[in-house]
Structure 1
Amino acid sequence: MADELDEAALRYHRYPNPGKLEIVATKNMVNQRDLALAYSPGVAAACREIDKNPAEARHLTARSNLVAVITNGTAVLGLGSIGPLASKPVMEGKAVLFKKFANVDVFDLELDTTDVDRFVDAVSLMGPSFGGINLEDIKAPECFEIETRLREKMNIPVFHDDQHGTAICVAAAIRNGLKIANKKLEDVKLVCSGAGAAALACLNLLVSMGLKKENVTVVDIEGVVYKGREALMDPYKSVYAQDTAARTLEDAIPGADIFLGLSAPRVLKPEFLVHMAESPFIMALANPEPEIKPELAMEVRPDAIIATG
């Protein structure tokens, strides 16, 4: 099944034209007069208006409805750090989603740097071109600093989708899932697999909604995030360090009401689910393959509420 999907996806991207985007003119371009209005000499009138009043760019250019989707390819879906070029299909995909569902135009930009200063400089210098910046697939903790600095430097909206877009959807799902399970957010125990941008943003939003920080256990590639741990720690992750003897996901999962997975395929084993609380909410959101397949989870816990990404 996976091989069939891969082949279909490759055909989809190759034919009839490579990729998923093209630029289409929004004005008539059928005669010499149209060309004279679109470019020289007529375009000078639009330039002079914007020079006199920069707000006129909203009415005379595409800027107000143009977003830049920008990445450096350091944290792409479940694929990891694959670099800017290999991440381009994802950025084109996000661009067509903007267009299809909100009629917002997008340029995708893949920057060949992992240096925070160079990334921030490159993006901030492009401010006059765009109405907004959508940061995408940038690894933590650099992504937090990048977003903060760009918001300080730029006078247009800057939004890191992996953080805030994911968090909004996860928070809504958890609120509704807990209603089905007849549980309250302030009472539940949550185990989070993953400590990247998306995971930490989800936890931050859920805590602001009433989830108790002491009821949250975070597990990453090094194991449980516990007080005193030194490996792969940063100030953003340290907020969720617990005083616990648990060191693995298997150790942390007993009694959990919610499993929030934003990590890697197949890390949640079916046998772990036996020890979760009644009516557990399993959010296996790793992409493109979840932490556990829904059918496997249902075999062990038919009372579970399950969501995948």
Structure 2
Amino acid sequence: MDKLFRKDAFNYHALGRPGKIEVVPTKPYSTQRDLSLAYTPGVADPCLAIEKTPEDVYKYTAKGNLVAVISNGTAVLGLGNIGAEAGKPVMEGKGLLFKIFADVDVFDIEVDETDIDKFIETVKAISPTFGGINLEDIKAPECFEIERRLKEELNIPIMHDDQHGTAIITSAGLLNALEIVGKKIEDIKIVVNGAGAASISCTQLYMRLGAKRENIIMLDSRGVLHKDRTDLNETKKQFVTDKPVHTLKEAIKGADVFLGLSVGGILKKDMLLSMAKKPIVFALANPTPEIAYDVAMEIRDDIVMATGRSDYPNQINNVLGFPFIFRGALDVRATEINEEMKLAASKALAKLAKEPVPEEVNIAFKVANLNFGRDYIIPKPTDPRLIETVAPAVAKAAIDSGVAQKTIDNWSAYREELRKRLGLSNPLMRQMKAACKRNPKRIVLTDAQD
């Protein structure tokens, strides 16, 4: 990261109004009557209605479109345990992404508590405010218990995005990569380097898609999770192997898929060369992947590769998932985000990557014509169709799996409503804007005033 970029990052957060989000009124407030309706005495009637019928909280308040982004700052990005307050810029950033991609409102909540029981009690105590909870940047293994217990004890959608977001997006990429290389998920050998929250969740979702447990080898910083190790916690013990391998170099031989959620540079050239024909490599360490993209492409011309970086093809970016997953869950008032909803999101993303790419996406990424293939296995974050593709898939899965408290009868109308949320309802205007951006012109109005 160069000095100029770091300076820009400080200025971005500090100049003008500090931070990245604000609260904006949604009702008139210009007259005395407006104010008396917004607060006392007018507010009393909705309060009494909610007391009588708790479900009316969704009718009279913003709860149905409000998500809490909650963290204790124990695992913030690649920065580690920097504390709750230091993690606030990340949580505000998450709120910004929720809003601009899916029109979901967010309060970021930084909880200065590392005790599991106290953290859970705090979240439970404030949960009536929110329609959903996005847990963020909580270290493993505590994050597993925190999410599990909150899901058991609350009846609103809850998701730890660091776990499930990465799993959902990589699953979509994996499905498409396997189609490109002509392999079946039940046959492939998978090596997962890293045994943190995201790695565990990815592996579990791959198995739900059809990967076989006996074909998966997972490693942590000390090597393969082997049955002869005595230092493994209960979460890691789920993925032990009895195969005669103990190092990444041994495990990677003949592997079809490498998933890296670990450290940069750990996958060496000889290891990549030892993988099976047409290997799939997801090197997601940031900012330095487990193997450099250029190096991997140079030594294997049959590879399908993804990274966590936007300057290479096939970026695995969680923003492809969480805004739209919560959008769909909120819109049917789901009581949880279950496995069926996660799988639906993955499959919707995989399918979207095979559709013709809108011109505004080509312009945003300065390419002529993106097409499904080795360099395009996952949609781009700027694709305007994401909200109308992923959110309905998640909502339908919630309905079909019995966790939705509302139903949707007219799916075409729902998709149009989603487009309107982001101002995307006029495809002709979108095409015109894209054309103007591709070939900008200067217009002179000779008789214009002001």
The answer for the alignment partner of 1:224 in structure 2 is: 224
Structure 2 matches for 1:76-155, cutoff 5 A?
A: 76-155=76-155
User: Which whole-Å CA distance do the structure 1 matches of 2:109 and 2:290 have between them?
Assistant: 30
Aligned pair 1:65/2:73, yes or no? no
User: Which whole-Å CA distance do the structure 2 matches of 1:216 and 1:7 have between them?
Assistant: 43
Offset of residue 24 of structure 1: 0.8
Using the TM superposition, name which of 12-21 and 2-11 deviates more. 2-11
User: Which whole-Å CA distance do the structure 2 matches of 1:296 and 1:151 have between them?
Assistant: 43
Offset of residue 135 of structure 1: 0.8
Offset of residue 292 of structure 1: 2.3
Offset of residue 106 of structure 1: 0.5
RMSD after superposition: 1.5
Offset of residue 247 of structure 1: 2.3
SS of alignment partner, residue 84 of structure 1: coil
8 Å Cα contact 1:256-1:280 kept in structure 2 = yes
Larger strand share, 1 or 2: 1
Q: What CA deviation, in whole Å up to 9, does each residue of 1:230-268 have, x standing for no partner?
A: 22x222211111113322222221111111011222222
Equivalent AA in structure 2 for residue 290 of structure 1: P
Structure 2 matches for 1:187-266, cutoff 5 A?
A: 187-231=187-231, 233-266=232-265
The change in CA–CA distance for 1:305 and 1:212 in structure 2 (over 3 A counts) is: same
User: Which whole-Å CA distance do the structure 1 matches of 2:10 and 2:153 have between them?
Assistant: 39
Offset of residue 141 of structure 1: 1.5
8 Å Cα contact 1:78-1:286 kept in structure 2 = no
The answer for the alignment partner of 1:270 in structure 2 is: 269
SS of alignment partner, residue 23 of structure 2: coil
The answer for the alignment partner of 1:52 in structure 2 is: 52
User: Which whole-Å CA distance do the structure 1 matches of 2:54 and 2:108 have between them?
Assistant: 25
User: Which whole-Å CA distance do the structure 1 matches of 2:35 and 2:288 have between them?
Assistant: 49
Offset of residue 152 of structure 1: 1.6
Using the TM superposition, name which of 81-90 and 202-211 deviates more. 81-90
Offset of residue 32 of structure 1: 1.8
Equivalent AA in structure 1 for residue 40 of structure 2: S
The answer for the alignment partner of 1:304 in structure 2 is: 303
User: Which whole-Å CA distance do the structure 1 matches of 2:283 and 2:29 have between them?
Assistant: 49
Offset of residue 11 of structure 1: 2.3
Offset of residue 2 of structure 1: 4.2
Q: What is the TM-score of this pair, normalised by structure 1?
A: 0.95
SS of alignment partner, residue 218 of structure 2: strand
- Count of residues in Structure 1 that have an aligned counterpart in Structure 2: 308
8 Å Cα contact 1:78-1:289 kept in structure 2 = no
SS of alignment partner, residue 218 of structure 1: strand
Q: What CA deviation, in whole Å up to 9, does each residue of 1:193-221 have, x standing for no partner?
A: 11111111110111122111111111111
Aligned pair 1:185/2:185, yes or no? yes
The answer for the alignment partner of 1:42 in structure 2 is: 42
Using the TM superposition, name which of 158-167 and 103-112 deviates more. 158-167
Offset of residue 296 of structure 1: 2.0
User: Which whole-Å CA distance do the structure 1 matches of 2:11 and 2:194 have between them?
Assistant: 33
Aligned pair 1:161/2:161, yes or no? yes
Offset of residue 16 of structure 1: 2.6
The answer for the alignment partner of 1:289 in structure 2 is: 288
8 Å Cα contact 1:286-1:308 kept in structure 2 = yes
Displacement over 6 Å in runs of 4+: none
Q: What is the TM-score of this pair, normalised by structure 2?
A: 0.66
Offset of residue 81 of structure 1: 2.2
